[in-house]
Amino acid sequence: MGISGQEIFIILIVVLILFGADKLPDIMRTMGKGMREVRKATDEIKKEFESSTEDIRKDINEVTGTVTKDINDMTEDVRKDFKEAASPLTDEINSAARDINNEVK
């Protein structure tokens, strides 16, 4: 949520009335310094959060990769086993189909 130009102008007028023109530069300097410190602290917190979660993200990616590889390996094994089990049955069906075709002709 940003402050509009009118709001800043009203705030400056109130500060000018309360503290006087001679204190205004000091107040603005102090506010600027405070805003820089808040921004710096926010940036530090963001960097700390990103660095602390980086290890967690790496671990999750490693686990995801391992699980994906294991699932792919198991799927391939199941496919091979199914083909091996289905092969004699397929041969039997093809042989029966040939026999039927020969008898029909």
The answer as to whether 25 is a domain residue is yes
Give the pLDDT of residue 70: 93
Assigned domain for 4 exists? no
Residue 61 lies inside a defined structural domain of this protein: yes
33, amino acid identity = K
pLDDT for 1 beyond 80: no
What is the C-alpha to C-alpha distance for residues 21 and 30, in angstroms, rounded to an integer? Answer: 15
Within 8 A by CB and 6+ apart from 15, the residues are: 24, 27
pLDDT at 2: 66
Q: Could you give the dihedral angle defined by the CA atoms of residues 49, 53, 54 and 60, in that order, rounded to the nearest 10 degrees?
A: -170
47 in any annotated domain: yes
User: How does the average pLDDT of the chain come out, rounded?
Assistant: 86
**Does residue 2 fall inside a structural domain?**
no
Q: Is residue 20 part of a domain?
A: yes
Query: Who contacts 11 (Cβ-Cβ below 8 Å, separation ≥6)?
Result: 3
5 belongs to a structural domain: no
52: three-class secondary structure by DSSP = helix
Asked whether the predicted pLDDT for residue 96 surpasses 70, the reply is: yes
Domains: count for the chain:
1
Q: Is residue 90 part of a domain?
A: yes
Give 39-78 pLDDT, tens digit per residue: 999 999 999 988 888 888 899 999 999 999 999 999 999 9
Question: Distance between CA 27 and CA 17 in Å, rounded?
Answer: 13
Range of the domain at 22: 10-104
| Confidence (pLDDT) at 105 | 66
